[in-house]
Chain A
Amino acid sequence: MTELTRTGVEGLDDILNGGIVKNSTTLVSGNPGAGKSILCLQYLYNGVEQFDEKGIYLSFEENEDDLREAAESIGFDNWADHVENGDIKVYDKRKLLRENDFSSSLEILLDDFEDEQYDRLVLDSLTMFELFFDDEREKRTYLLKFTDILKENELTSLMTNEQGAVFPDTDIGLENYLTDGNIYLIQTPTDSGVNRYVWVAKMRKQNIETDIFPMEIAEGGLRIHQNASAFSMMSEDDAPI
């Protein structure tokens, strides 16, 4: 039986048929503002609060204060405490890129991975991480090696990716093939604001719901609604994927 790591995100674990496969790497894709970072914050926060699992947050995008403010803005009031206690270890962009030298941070990171006290990891974003590599082949090789390292150290990981849902004419990034799971966060503008959806396109070893489900971002983070018919969905022809 496959062991699962529960995200604790309302509605998402049901779609995933229980959770994310333990020690796997899942790509969270979406346009800016789609909710990728919020999902990641929530994943680590729930890990500590609900499942007694520690996490590591790697951010090339934001610094520690921004992350804390983002967490507190959706009601994760204990975020700062968890960071202080070391239940959530944050490597923000300042730490990761200190003296313009990611390689020395990488060394510290690799030590932490081996430490075995962490169960969850977030990499925000893979897009930035990939900038350290020169060409497609190198990106591919090192993404595979990196995910191998995470897996062997028993970390269940989310990686964010700046990519919208795939339109017919666009290429699907290599990343989508190299990771165990793919979750897309989709936002479409409407007259009154924005409609949000989540689509779990792939999850290796798991029997998942592959429909697109409506979601909202509110106090407490992402909330996914199982009952798709209660929302006005786009017609089949207009579907973004």
Chain B
Amino acid sequence: MASVDILRTLGNKYSAEILDATDEPQSAQDLSDELDIPIATCYRRIDELTEHDLLELHDNILSDDRRRIKVYRRNVEEIRVDFEETLEVSIEERSEVTNKLDQAWRTLSEG
């Protein structure tokens, strides 16, 4: 059952913190440093969250030492759990308008 799966993923240690921190794109290393998460766990959580579309691979940016680094950004604004009839988890995704502005703004700095 998809809803329960999402809740389980969210309930894993650090998942909520990762979503909270990825308002702006962050790399696994950033998240690991900032939230004090062991790096292997950090990668695992990122995979789980990405699998459920809660987090998305946002870009491959070039680091100072010219390596490609994956950065992730959360894909959701709000998750609501409704127990009233059947268990229902509704996910409010980030708005398209903000996504497009983010994208346009990012290309400015690259341009």
Asked if B77 is an interface residue, CB under 8 A from chain A, the answer is yes
Stretch at the interface among A56-64, A76-84, A146-154, A178-186: A146-154
A142 and B101 in contact, given A103-B95, A134-B77, A152-B108 (Cβ under 8 angstroms): yes
Name the residue of chain A whose CB is nearest to the CB of B96: A103
Q: Separation in Å of the B25 CB from the closest CB of chain A?
A: 14
Q: A residues within 8 Å of B by Cβ? A: 102-103, 106-107, 110, 132-134, 138, 142, 145-146, 148-149, 152
Q: Is the interface of A mostly helix, strand, loop or mixed?
A: helix
A103 and B105 in contact, given A132-B95, A134-B77 (Cβ under 8 angstroms): no
Q: Separation in Å of the B94 CB from the closest CB of chain A?
A: 10
Q: B residues within 8 Å of A by Cβ? A: 77, 95-102, 104-105, 108, 111
What's the Cα separation between A146 and B103 when bound, in Å?
11
* Contact, CB under 8 Å: A149 / B97: no
Contacts of A133 in B (CB 8 A): 95, 97-98
Q: Separation in Å of the B32 CB from the closest CB of chain A?
A: 25
What's the Cα separation between A216 and B101 when bound, in Å?
38
Name the residue of chain B whose CB is nearest to the CB of A146: B101
Q: Separation in Å of the A71 CB from the closest CB of chain B?
A: 29
Contacts of B99 in A (CB 8 A): 103
User: Which of A102, A110, A132 meets B104, CB within 8 Å?
Assistant: A110
